[in-house]
Structure 1
Amino acid sequence: MTVVRVKDRDGAERDVEAMNGAPLMETLRDAGFGIDGTCGGAMSCGTCHVYIDAAWAPRLPARSADEAAMLEALADFVELRPSSRLSCQIPVDDTLDGLTVEVAPQV
C-alpha cells in the first residue's frame, strides 16, 4: 500500500492508504473525499479533479491530450492550477508513497 496525504475541500488533511495498481480516484472516492468518478475513469466528467502538490507534479506521468482537454473544459467552473490533474489518470504505485493532493472544488 502507498500512503497519500489528502487535503479535503474543508482544508482538513489526513493520510489514506492507496492500493497499488489502482487509479488514485478510486482511493479518494472510497475514502469519502467527495470524489464521484462518475465516468469511471473515461475522462469525461471531471469529478475527480485534484491539485497535485508542486513538488510531486513533475514525478507523475504527463497529462494525455484527452486529460488536458477535460481539464480545459472544467476551467469555466472551477479554478485550474498548473498542477491540476484528473485523479483517475494517476496510477498508484510505490513511487507515489507520500504524494500530497488537494481535492478540487466540486464541479
Structure 2
Amino acid sequence: MEDVTIYITDRDGVKHKVEAPTDMAMNLMEVVRSYELAPEGTIGVCGGMAMCASCQCYVENNVELNPMEDDEDAMLAEAFNVKENSRLSCQIPITESLQNLEITLAPEY
C-alpha cells in the first residue's frame, strides 16, 4: 500500500478526507501542513521536534498508533486543551496502520 486515507477535522470544524503516502517517511503534522489544513505558522512551529504542542490533535477512533514517547508525554503535560486522546501529530509516522484514522486538530490556544 502506498497511500492511506485519513480524515482530518480542521480548527473550523470542517472534515477533510486526505491521502497520505506511506513511502515518504512523513508524519501526520507534515500531512496537515502539505494539505494546508491550518494557517501557516500555526502548526508545527518547532519543526516537528515535540517541543511546542502546536500540532496537538485528538485521535477520534481506534486505530493502531505508535506508542507515545517520553518527549511527547512531557510536552502534552505542559500544553493547553489536552484531552485523554491527545497526541502530537509530529510524533505519528504515516504507516499502513493509520488507514481510516480520524483526528481533530486541537485549538490554536
Specify the TM-score bucket, using the shorter chain as the normaliser.
0.7 to 0.9
Within 1, Cα distance between the matches of 2:108 and 2:81?
Answer: 10
Q: Which residue of 1 aligns with 2:46?
A: 39
Residue 102 of structure 1 corresponds to 104
Partner letter of residue 83 of structure 1? N
Residue in 2 that maps onto 1:28 = 32
Cα distance in 2 for residues equivalent to 1:29 and 1:68: 22
Q: Which runs of 4+ in 1 moved over 2 A?
A: none
Q: Give 5+ residue unaligned stretches, structure 1.
A: none
Structure 2: runs of 5+ lacking an equivalent:
none
Q: CA separation in 2, counterparts of 1:11 and 1:96?
A: 21
Who is 2:73 aligned against? 68
Instruction: Please say if 1:52 is aligned against 2:56.
Output: no
TM-score w.r.t. the length of structure 1 is: 0.88
Alpha-carbon displacement from aligned partner over 1:13-63 (angstroms, at most 9, x marks no partner): 11011121311110001111215212111111111100001423xx11121
Give the number of the structure whose residues are more often helix, by fraction.
1
Question: Distance between the aligned counterparts of 2:61 and 2:96, measured in 1?
Answer: 19
CA distance in 2, matches of 1:43, 1:96: 20
Look up the match of 2:83.
Answer: 81
- Give aligned-pair identity as a percent: 35
Structure-1 separation of matches of 2:52 and 2:17: 26
Give the whole-Å Cα distance in 1 for the aligned partners of 2:61 and 2:17.
Answer: 18
Could you say what secondary structure the match of 2:47 adopts?
A: coil
TM-score by length of 2: 0.86
2:49 aligned counterpart, secondary structure: coil
Return the letter of the residue paired with 1:32.
Answer: E
In 2, are the aligned partners of 1:33 and 1:103 still within 8 Å (CA)?
A: no
